[in-house]
Amino acid sequence: MSGFLKSSIGRKVAMALSAFFLMFFLLMHVSINLLSVFSADAFNTASHFMGTNWLVQFIMQPILIFGVVFHFVMGFILEFRNKKSNGIAYVKNNGAANSSWMSRNMIYSGLVILAFILLHFIDFWFPEINHKYIEVLPEDPTRYFGELQHKFTPLWRVAAYVVSFILLGLHLGHGFTSAFQSMGVTAGRKKTLKTIGKVYSIIIPLAFIFIALYHHFNH
Amino acid sequence: MKLTLKIWRQKNANDKGKIVDYKVDDVSPDMSFLEMLDVLNQDLIDKNEEPIAFDHDCREGICGMCSMYINGRAHGPDTSITVCQLHMRSFKDGDTIYIEPWRAAAFPVIKDLIVDRSAFDRIQQAGGFISVNTSGNTQDANGTLISKHAADTAMDAATCIGCGACVATCKNSSAMLFVGAKVSQYALLPQGQIEAADRVRNMVAQMDLEGFGNCTNTGACEVECPKGITLENIARMNRELMKASI
Ligand code: HEM
Ligand code: SF4
Ligand code: FES
């Protein structure tokens, strides 16, 4: 088993598992955010639950942070090792002839997502931790919707959201099916997965973009 | 046809190497790519210059020796062929053609366009075989029943000629298409299944040891493979290794 984890294929499988987890998390996240478009109350209730439930706070949140860090650290390690395997570069190389741009640039789409995650932490997570554990302000279950609206007021932040989510779409456009291939899924299932992957990688980022634009123009 | 060739020249493994320009006139569109190089080499020999060293043997697409990266693609612009099966009609009069050796840390250049692919041999020796008793009382091959589907799929995998185009074209210099094909051709047959777990563990370990990169599923190898080996073979290798590890 330890041999497996150290092998190239073991690393692929670990990468895919962390990616599955992140994709599941994204689905949860977008569902809750979508509530904010329909009802401020529903969004506040859901956010309050996520922010105070011990299972979410002390079990799922640490797993999530570990998952994100593991995914991008592993991504860097893979990129670095693969560069070392290349040897001398070709004088002329036509990568576009046999593979998609998305698949060849996972590290760059990933880096933009990483920059976005940092901004996201500064915007939402740090103030949240400060509110709950450092200043220990009184809990107000209706504060979440206002905070959300406030964040989407400046145009630059909305623009950063749009660009980041387009790159997330590109990351997932290759990543979704790639993760299943890494897990050894059989050829018979590939067509269905390709379709689901396309839908997932377009709908989820689009929904996040829609939410950001909606609040920018409606407050 | 008149062509400008930009060819990688490197005296030996330690030489730095560089691209050198050559002009060739009088190329017939019906020549194979290797014949075109033969003409150029004869020209160089006549001029008392060192001919260009390149690997070739069967010249009919079955040995996998002819390894060249032509205009940015393994085995040149067409798909499902080797360099010896590529013809000059795939180019236009006046074209400039880049010709480079396979590039991968695990495939060091020996001279000009020839690379050392013995890493593939060592992977093969690590498990790409079955152990059978050949003492005279061998079983009749038809004594072991095999489904048509398994036999066909194993045969498809076994068509890999070990050319290394998959490694050459891969942005990660990964050898997983090759190793996946070799693992699959045995894993699908009852004779191979007995040693399947050790085989996949040992072959993957040797592949990693040789310094090949890690697959990120770009699919470039499958497009450039002259024998149509599919990514399904990599998925099967991953399944086999997972099965062997738990
Ligand atoms: C919520 C955020 C993210 C999601 C949902 C996500 C999703 C995915 C998926 C599904 C894959 C394919 C896995 C596979 O092929 O087995 C992948 C691969 C990759 N990710 Fe991410 N990712 C995210 C963030 C990041 C970040 C921040 C980086 C940082 C650099 C990154 C770098 C990479 C790299 C380099 C790969 C390619 C590795 C490979 O294919 O083996 N990702 N990601
Ligand atoms: S898998 Fe295809 S490209 Fe790779 S070595 Fe075998 S025949 Fe060549
Ligand atoms: S020379 Fe044998 S495959 Fe081209």
**Widest Cα–Cα separation across chain B:** 63
**Would you say residue B24 lies in a domain?**
yes
At residue A38 the predicted structure's pLDDT band, cuts being 50, 70 and 90, is very high
pLDDT of res. A186: 84
Domain shared by B122 and B53, yes or no: no
Domain shared by B90 and B123, yes or no: no
Residue of B214, B233, B239, B242 to mutate, testing the A interface (most A Cβ within 10 Å of its Cβ): B214
Domain shared by B93 and B188, yes or no: no
**Would you say residue B140 lies in a domain?**
no
* CATH number of the structural domain spanning residue B157: 1.10.1060.10
pTM for this prediction = 0.94
Residue B160's closest CA among B70, B234, B105, B218?
A: B234
Domain shared by B127 and B227, yes or no: yes
Domain shared by B241 and B121, yes or no: yes
pLDDT of res. A187: 79
pLDDT in tens, B109-129: 999 999 999 999 999 999 999
Residue A134 Cα to chain centre, angstroms:
27
Domain shared by B121 and B107, yes or no: no
B121 C-alpha to ligand 2 centroid (Å): 13
pLDDT in tens, B171-213: 999 999 999 999 999 999 999 999 999 999 999 999 999 999 9
**Would you say residue B138 lies in a domain?**
no
The percentage of residues in chain B with a pLDDT greater than 90, rounded to a whole number, is: 94
Contacts with B237 from chain A: Cβ below 8 Å:
9
pLDDT of res. B234: 98
**Would you say residue B42 lies in a domain?**
yes
Residue B93's closest CA among B7, B40, B38, B23?
A: B23
Which ligand ends up closest to the CA of A201? 1
Predicted ipTM > 0.95: no
| DSSP code of residue B138 | P
Domain shared by B227 and B212, yes or no: yes
At residue A1 the predicted structure's pLDDT band, cuts being 50, 70 and 90, is low
Domain shared by B98 and B161, yes or no: no
Domain shared by B70 and B168, yes or no: no
pLDDT in tens, A58-115: 999 999 999 999 999 999 999 999 999 999 999 999 999 999 999 999 999 999 999 9
pLDDT in tens, B89-112: 999 999 999 999 999 999 999 999
Contacts with A93 from chain B: Cβ below 8 Å:
69, 72
Domain shared by B105 and B121, yes or no: no
**Would you say residue B174 lies in a domain?**
yes
Residue B242's closest CA among B209, B206, B211, B196?
A: B196
Mean local confidence (pLDDT), B231-240:
97
Domain shared by B95 and B23, yes or no: yes
**Ligand 1 binding pocket mutation candidate from A171, A176, A198 (most atoms within 8 A of CB):** A171
Residues with Cβ within 6 A of ligand 3?
B 56-59, 61-66, 82-84
What residue numbers bound the domain in which B101 lies?
3-111
How close does chain B come to A93, measured CA to CA in Å?
A: 4
Mean local confidence (pLDDT), A122-128:
85
Tell me if chain B has a CB within 8 Å of the CB of A187.
yes
**Would you say residue B17 lies in a domain?**
yes
Contacts with A187 from chain B: Cβ below 8 Å:
230, 232, 235
pLDDT in tens, B133-182: 888 877 787 888 999 999 999 999 999 999 999 999 999 999 999 999 99
pLDDT in tens, A197-208: 999 999 999 999
**Would you say residue B95 lies in a domain?**
yes
B224 C-alpha to ligand 3 centroid (Å): 15
The percentage of residues in chain A with a pLDDT greater than 70, rounded to a whole number, is: 99
pLDDT of res. B86: 98
**Would you say residue B139 lies in a domain?**
no
pLDDT of res. B189: 95
Q: How many domains does chain B have?
A: 2
pLDDT of res. B142: 85
pLDDT in tens, B10-48: 999 999 999 999 999 999 999 999 999 999 999 999 999
Domain shared by B74 and B153, yes or no: no
* CATH number of the structural domain spanning residue B27: 3.10.20.30
